[in-house]
Each structure stands twice: as structure tokens, then as C-alpha cells.
Structure 1
């Protein structure tokens, strides 16, 4: 059975939380889907994931379909 986890950020901004959360998820072999309400939100996420770490890479790309 699939497991779906939701996170409600209250104590730290997205920029501080998302990279660590994604790294932990990928280390467990999980697939992650991020959704944004607008194109600007997608651009923000994309830019953040390319620049969040100097010493690591978070593979990502747009979903098709």
C-alpha cells in the first residue's frame, strides 16, 4: 500500500526545511512530488533546488502529463 506524508511548516521556512527533507526521502528510495499553485512557485522551487547546497545535488525535474 502506498504511503502519503504531508508536512505543515510552522517553525522553519520552506528554504530551510525542504532540502533536508528531500535528501532524507531520496536516501530511503522514496519518490517525491512537489506541487505549486502557480508557475512562479515552480520556478522558485526549481531555483532553490539547484542552489540550496554547494556540496550536494538534488536531482529533480518537471513531471510530464
Structure 2
């Protein structure tokens, strides 16, 4: 049976007993891919928080400007 991939992120699942000289490289690539995906999600979440804070500050400034 050849290597298979995970459903969601296409990580390589080395075939048991058949990837004797390559399993480490395959698993290291999986970790690199996971690390990049987690970092991208965190960066996107951080940007969303920054945007929300900026929008709140703008709304507060507008409310003060109109005397609300």
C-alpha cells in the first residue's frame, strides 16, 4: 500500500514498513506545512483584532465628534 494523505490538509501518512529511508523527510514536511498554516491563521486573526480595535476607536471618535 502506498503513502496516503490526510483528508483536510493533504499531509503525507507514510506507509507502514515501506518508507524506511524517507519517513522522516515526509513527516518533517508535514510539520513545516502545519507550522505555516497555523502561522497564517494567527496572522489573519491578529489582523482581524487590529481591524476591530481600529473600527471601535473610529466609532468612538465619531460619537464624540457628533456629541453622542
TM-score scaled to structure 2, two decimals?
Answer: 0.29
Larger-gyration structure (1/2): 2
Higher strand proportion? 2
The higher-RCO structure (CA 8 Å, 6+ apart) is 1
Higher helix proportion? 2
TM-score scaled to structure 1, two decimals?
Answer: 0.30
